[in-house]
């Protein structure tokens, strides 16, 4: 089990999950190729779409392409080598929402937080939250949101009281 008391904590996306999605994408690319060979032009669209998906899954399996890093001041999530850092102090609340069959960890920013207002508005309209993590990094969404909320409470309380951490 992961220890969340020793910081920083680094969680990685499931390689097995990405490998499964890669194999499914390759299978659909093959179906697209067969459609094209049979004279069906929609095979180009389907094959191309799933070929792009396969590329994304390969990239996300590379080292440091996808992770969640938790420390005393913030959390950083990375997907496709694009990292985003969010300070604990910028978070008002965490929660879990479901989109289709996928449960995701999401959060709302504190009032007055200056981020991407349009993206936050779109996200809030779709999910009820300002933003969400792209993965649960090998944990259930409920377990991850519980851990992140506890860290948020611990380290925002520590910042308010002037200490770096509370034991």
* 89 inside domain: yes
* 39 domain residue, yes or no: yes
Whether residue 3 lies inside any domain: the answer is no
Q: Are residues 83 and 129 in the same domain?
A: yes
Q: Examine the domain organization and report whether 123 and 107 are in the same domain.
A: yes
**57, 18 in Cβ contact below 8 A?**
yes
Q: How far apart are CA 27 and CA 113, in angstroms?
A: 44
Residue numbers of the domain that contains 52: 12-60
pLDDT number for residue 91: 93
Same domain, 45 and 24: yes
Each residue's pLDDT, cut to its tens digit, for the chain (167 residues) gives 456 678 899 999 888 888 999 999 999 999 999 999 999 999 999 999 999 999 999 998 898 999 999 999 999 999 999 999 999 999 999 999 998 888 999 999 998 877 777 777 788 878 889 999 999 998 999 999 999 999 999 888 765 555 444 33
Q: Report residue 2: phi and psi, to 5°.
A: -75, 140
Does the CA dihedral 70-106-79-141 come out positive or negative? positive
Count of the separate structural domains present in the chain: 2
> CB–CB of 104/97 below 8 Å?
yes
Of how many residues is the chain composed?
167
Q: Is residue 151 situated within a structural domain?
A: yes
């Amino acid at each position: 089990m992961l220890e969340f008391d020793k910081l920083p904590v680094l969680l990685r996306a499931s390689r097995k999950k990405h490998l499964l999605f890669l194999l499914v994408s390759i299978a659909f690319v093959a179906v697209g190729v067969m459609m094209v060979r049979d004279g069906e032009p929609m095979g180009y669209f389907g094959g191309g779409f799933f070929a792009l998906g396969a590329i994304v899954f390969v990239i996300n399996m590379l080292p440091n392409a996808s992770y969640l890093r938790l420390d005393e001041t913030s959390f950083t999530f990375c997907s496709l080598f694009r990292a985003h850092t969010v300070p604990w102090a910028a978070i008002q609340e965490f929660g879990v929402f479901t989109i289709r069959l996928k449960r995701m960890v999401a959060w709302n920013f504190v009032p007055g937080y200056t981020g991407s207002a349009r993206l936050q508005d779109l996200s809030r309209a779709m999910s009820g939250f300002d933003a969400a993590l792209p993965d649960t990094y090998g944990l259930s969404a409920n377990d991850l949101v519980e851990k992140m909320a506890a860290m948020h409470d611990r380290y925002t309380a520590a910042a308010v009281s002037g200490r770096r951490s509370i034991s």
